Amino acid sequence: MAVVITNPLDFNVEDLYVDLRQAIGHQLYLKCEGFNFAGSIKVKAAAEMVTAKETAGELLPGGTLIESSSGNMGVALSIVAASRGYRFVCVTDVRCTLAARRTMQALGSEVHVIEEPDAEGGYLGARLAHVRKLCEAHAGYVWLNQYANAANWRGHYRTTGPEVAKAFPELDVLFIGAGTTGTLMGCARYFRENHPGVTIVAIDAVGSVTFGRSPGRRMIPGLGTSVRPPIFDASYADDIVYVDEAETIRMCHRLVGHGYLFGGSTGTVVSGARDWLAAHGRDGLTAVAISPDFGGNYLDTIYNEEWASRVSRADETI
């Protein structure tokens, strides 16, 4: 039977998993979240945050949304805005892929690109400062602030967590990347309250400050932060694995060698999950990892030999 929709937000594949045993040597089921019109898991949080603003009466017909994003959330909000009749202003930085920027612009969004990082808050700090400046200049702008907005994690508490639990009722461990920590917090809260026996392992990028480490250079957008997200609560993570960008690139290329073109965040999550399973795995363990997106937006970066080699060499000198 044909599936007919009238809104791009009505379509999202929720139950597709890839068995990665052949690719990484460990039993790991990868939940693929890129099968929607936004191309990433961010569409869930984007729709949840916009709906919350509408319900609260803070977002009126024809209004303007503004948000800081490294790429995927910006694309997701561009689709939500276009489908609901809003304007959208995205503040990103030079690490955002050209494909993501052009996608946002094609959807009618206004894109501001931050060229220089803040001395203490990095690119994210500089982006947030620019958002605040624009909000001061335009009183009607509605800032979603995904880093402090509880609707970010509630979107995953309501959808992603229950989806995984339904597909794998005997789940032992769930691997989740830490970016804004919306997916991590939503899924971790859901399992803590409903299936407390599941181990939640957060995967973070080397150079991220989310779990209290010192900041460092990061070139791949998606996971990791230079400003700790206010919605983050470390007590919900049972373990943490750090992955450097050279390993992210290697894993992406390893997976594409098996025909799977995944994005940088997915490469980071799978690399961290593989390392954790190598150290803690056992026979019969049911493990799931969440893949935020596919690799189409990364053809000029992660899947570009010159760019990837440059980042990998830089990692080796740190």
CATH number at residue 71: 3.40.50.1100
Per-residue model confidence (pLDDT) at position 126? 95
Statement: residue 219 has pLDDT above 90: no
Q: Return the structure tokens found at 251.
A: 């894993």
**Residue 4 domain-assigned (yes or no):** no
For the cut 50, the answer to whether the pLDDT of residue 171 exceeds it is: yes
Same domain flag for 286 and 176: yes
Q: Is the pLDDT of residue 108 over 60?
A: yes
266/185 same-domain check: yes
Residue pair 163/41 in contact by the 8 Å Cβ criterion? no
Residue 1 domain-assigned? no
Per-residue pLDDT, 181: 94
DSSP code of 295? S
Whether residue 57 is predicted with pLDDT greater than 80 in this model: the reply is yes
pTM for this model (two decimals)? 0.94
Q: What is the pLDDT of residue 317?
A: 52
- pLDDT (mean) for 265-280: 96
| Joined tokens for residue 8 | 């791009």
- 317 or 75: whose pLDDT is higher? 75
What three-state secondary structure class fits 215? coil
Looking at the fold, whether 96 and 139 belong to one and the same domain comes out as yes
Residue 316 pLDDT class (50, 70, 90 cuts): low
Position 310 scores a pLDDT of 86
- Calculate the dihedral angle through the C-alpha atoms of 295, 299, 302, 305, rounding to the nearest 10 degrees: 140
For the cut 90, the answer to whether the pLDDT of residue 274 exceeds it is: yes
What's the domain range around 288? 13-37+150-313
Relative orientation angle of helices 150-158 and 182-194, to the nearest 10 degrees? 50
Residues 303 and 221 in one domain: yes
User: 31-40, 105-114, 211-220 — which is least confidently predicted?
Assistant: 211-220
> In percent, how much of the chain has pLDDT > 70?
98
Q: Which of 143, 162, 183 marks a domain boundary? A: 143
pLDDT average, residue stretch 162-178:
98
Position 191 confidence tier, pLDDT thresholds 50, 70, 90? very high
